[in-house]
Structure 1
């Protein structure tokens, strides 16, 4: 048994883990980051937008995560992809949005903490953002310009006018950016790709920091097995992990930070005897600290796709989006659908991605198959348990058809719907047969004021354990879903957590 000691030990090298370890090292703390994945920052499939789809064909970069069959999706088994590489699910399609201003009220209501107000969180977003735009007019004041994460919004002058006219024809709001005072309606999305090259937490936070700060140590291929906890003091004593070099204990002088993500953070807690008493006992794990909500409240938007064959149609390099209500004129509190337009210039297909922004169904939970730490977590996953979610997707399909039938679009291009196709009259069947995850999984270690209803408090500290915090997408509040995805917000939350720790220990 080998022993490693540091001020802070971060378990999990995904989006949040890379951010918080880089910041803590910058703040002068001796920091150890443990990642089960490898460092693939030089791999062109990670970096280049044109090669991203090749990653899905390479199992060495993915955790093997079998999920249960989904009864409401005709017993289909959905693929659950968590990238096993530094940066984790920062390796994605590239779309970047902040949370809507109104969304932060969920955090405030859950915690009673006004520091989650959008005005305060904007500071942490700006610490992340290095924002540029090709627009001839400035929207830069809404964003940060000196952060680690390179973000680019591409302006296409022709389609910008088209999209604006479509919004007007549908009596909807148009805004240049959803981070403005108006954060709904028709707009354009920014991306973590600039000139086809990705910016992500590993490359832009961690790698640059490693070259500057000798007080930061990163161990890749290091799989955490469990936290050992003193039941009397309710403190973590150490974290046990293995790598190709053997078995290790990591001892944090100050605190342990769990950033293994929505799937793996609750898994490691349960393996450590922290979680729902019934689940732990079923798997012959000694209950060290009961927290009923560990692994519960798995929330995910779900996504369906409409496909069009196009003629004389181009969105350029821009990413048109709409955050709208399918039944009423949209305002800041009622969006139920988020759509994204993307075009394949080789096939001339236009794809419309539809997300349910406010699912009524909790899609599942994370549990255990057994107490073996090298066995993947048990993922119970089902969508559409509430029929209102099916109706939302039906309404969204009809709304997209309304967009494509506007006089503005008809005058601009010729579109033919190929999926689901106008001859497909059973939209419920289409949704059940084609819905896939949007990979916006959140909520399994939710934030809140007490141990009965949540896992962490407003300072990200695990209820009842004095030296363990969780910082990743798992901490989003119960019954909350992101309208446009958690990617950028996880960065901002990690910045907030690092700021809290700096103030406590400096």
Structure 2
């Protein structure tokens, strides 16, 4: 019988942070289990390579959502990392902490101690910022690169357009300024992706008290007399059980964490019994409350060169590849999401729309992946920041290999429909600025669209921005949540959920940074509780 002090389910953004923090003292023996394999792939390490991993089942769960009535019955594609580093190994590397109001709302929802001042201190411990001149600020493991000197010159036009639209242009939206448009800071170091595995797991792997099992699927958490005692896994065609002296921590993400709990007998009893699963804890909110960001993109042809001129044809692709391999510079060394920020759809509101501006246009290949168009173009995208629609994740089978059912329930409230129109109007405002009109040679006639046209277009074309969250959210009681403010599952001792599923509400922007912050604070809570057990005379 193999025993560990802590077992972590999932080596993604949260799991890597937890593995590093829980092994740092050398006192605790930790097992980290990941369904996917190694992240040592060129497509992962090269910053622009996430177009190659977008539909790659070797590193991606490649989930499909259920037909979504709010999106004209379309089945959305939901990529999720299935690899060491999880989604931090396949995401767009944009780093935004979120808006202060996001975290005030977390505390108001019952996540006591998660207000802005508390989480801000954690962010500061995690980060080191590299300016474009190479100087560093901070000493944390999360490397934030200011890539403005590597961004395509066309990106400067987006900043000019933002000023003309009346939006402030900021140097960084992770500092004193939180509203406006900026050149994004990205998790890149020395021209390579800097994932959670790079920042946290690789240093931890040098320690004797950490074991990592990859290509291992956790099929259930073992629950005995209301206590999580271990996990049962499938590895190499064999079943294995591992046991935890202290806690099992589920960090499988907003889709797979509720799935794992449900397979383990923790969730809505009706659903569990429907699939013949013994109910260990009737917890109705497991899988409920799903939130995500929906974005609408518009592509335009340009009279001014963009990345398409370099990457849209084979000679340019080959030269860019050689440049990257030899120097770790060039267009492949920078994420495509280069300019973004938060703006207000109404001056009376908080910032409630996130804008993305990319100096490249692309088509969708038959396999669903992106294909760079051969001629100059650019993309403008907007997403409402705080949707009010709520979806659900639920198992469709007791088979651990079967994908879960993803029910986004998009645009199911009047508020979200109004914000969809507002997002379209925000792109219209940007597209109609002199800076953009001066180079636009073709594209959608946003100016001629009515509100009804915009909502219809949003329903037909909007897609997930891949920020799924809140399916095992923190809250006050089991009636409104799955975990308490210390991330402990209601009514099941020795079990926590720590990942984007734990968010009480989705943050306004990209979720990679908030997940790492949440995991760092979660690790502190775990260690505090372990110390408390020692003081009370229990086992460490």
Q: Contact 2:56 / 2:62 at 8 angstroms: preserved in 1?
A: no
Partner of 2:425: 398
Partner of 1:320: 339
1:36 is displaced (CA, Å) by 0.7
1:466 is displaced (CA, Å) by 2.0
Partner of 2:199: 204
- Name the count of aligned residue pairs: 486
| Residues 12, 177 of structure 1: alpha-carbon distance in 2 compared, 3 angstrom cutoff | same
| Residues 135, 253 of structure 1: alpha-carbon distance in 2 compared, 3 angstrom cutoff | same
Structure 1 residue corresponding to 2:455, chosen from 405, 411, 428 = 428
1:349 is displaced (CA, Å) by 1.3
Partner of 1:217: 211
Partner of 1:7: 5
SS in 1 for 2:78: coil
Partner of 1:154: 147
Partner of 2:369: none
Mapping for residues 302-381 of structure 1, pairs under 5 Å: 302-312=294-304, 319-328=338-347, 334-344=350-360, 347-362=375-390, 364-381=391-408
Structure 2 residue corresponding to 1:469, chosen from 469, 480, 496 = 496
Partner of 1:385: 412
| Residues 207, 67 of structure 1: alpha-carbon distance in 2 compared, 3 angstrom cutoff | same
1:338 is displaced (CA, Å) by 0.4
1:128 is displaced (CA, Å) by 2.4
Gaps of 5+ in 1: none
| Residues 398, 66 of structure 1: alpha-carbon distance in 2 compared, 3 angstrom cutoff | closer
Q: Contact 1:135 / 1:154 at 8 angstroms: preserved in 2?
A: no
TM-score by length of 1: 0.89
Higher mean C-alpha displacement, 253-262 vs 272-281: 272-281
1:463 is displaced (CA, Å) by 1.1
1:67 is displaced (CA, Å) by 2.4
After superposition, the C-alpha distances for 1:196-242 in whole angstroms (9 at most, x for unaligned) are 410001133112321x20110000111111122123xx211221111
Gaps of 5+ in 2: 308-330, 362-373, 532-540
Partner of 2:509: 484
Higher mean C-alpha displacement, 310-319 vs 432-441: 310-319
Structure 2 residue corresponding to 1:177, chosen from 172, 178, 187 = 172
Matched, 1:438 2:478: no
Partner of 2:77: 79
Q: Contact 1:32 / 1:217 at 8 angstroms: preserved in 2?
A: yes
| Residues 24, 454 of structure 1: alpha-carbon distance in 2 compared, 3 angstrom cutoff | same
Matched, 1:460 2:454: no
SS in 1 for 2:32: strand
1:185 is displaced (CA, Å) by 2.0
| Residues 319, 60 of structure 1: alpha-carbon distance in 2 compared, 3 angstrom cutoff | closer
Partner of 2:476: 449
| Residues 423, 169 of structure 1: alpha-carbon distance in 2 compared, 3 angstrom cutoff | closer
| Residues 7, 334 of structure 1: alpha-carbon distance in 2 compared, 3 angstrom cutoff | same
1:159 is displaced (CA, Å) by 7.5
Q: Contact 1:339 / 1:353 at 8 angstroms: preserved in 2?
A: yes
SS in 1 for 2:18: helix
1:377 is displaced (CA, Å) by 1.4
Partner of 1:108: 107
Matched, 1:244 2:236: yes
Matched, 1:263 2:259: no
| Residues 352, 164 of structure 1: alpha-carbon distance in 2 compared, 3 angstrom cutoff | closer
TM-score by length of 2: 0.84
1:95 is displaced (CA, Å) by 0.9
Higher mean C-alpha displacement, 121-130 vs 240-249: 121-130
1:256 is displaced (CA, Å) by 0.8
SS in 1 for 2:397: coil
| Residues 116, 421 of structure 1: alpha-carbon distance in 2 compared, 3 angstrom cutoff | closer
After superposition, the C-alpha distances for 1:80-128 in whole angstroms (9 at most, x for unaligned) are 2112111111120111100211111122112362x32322212321232
Partner of 1:35: 34
| Residues 34, 161 of structure 1: alpha-carbon distance in 2 compared, 3 angstrom cutoff | closer
Higher mean C-alpha displacement, 376-385 vs 92-101: 376-385
After superposition, the C-alpha distances for 1:484-504 in whole angstroms (9 at most, x for unaligned) are 121111001111111222233
1:446 is displaced (CA, Å) by 0.6
Matched, 1:23 2:39: no
| Residues 322, 416 of structure 1: alpha-carbon distance in 2 compared, 3 angstrom cutoff | farther
SS in 1 for 2:476: coil
Partner of 2:185: 190
| Residues 397, 279 of structure 1: alpha-carbon distance in 2 compared, 3 angstrom cutoff | same
State the alpha-carbon separation in 1 of the partners of residues 359 and 387 from structure 2: 27
SS in 2 for 1:240: strand
SS in 1 for 2:301: strand
| Residues 112, 18 of structure 1: alpha-carbon distance in 2 compared, 3 angstrom cutoff | closer
State the alpha-carbon separation in 1 of the partners of residues 48 and 175 from structure 2: 30
1:311 is displaced (CA, Å) by 2.4
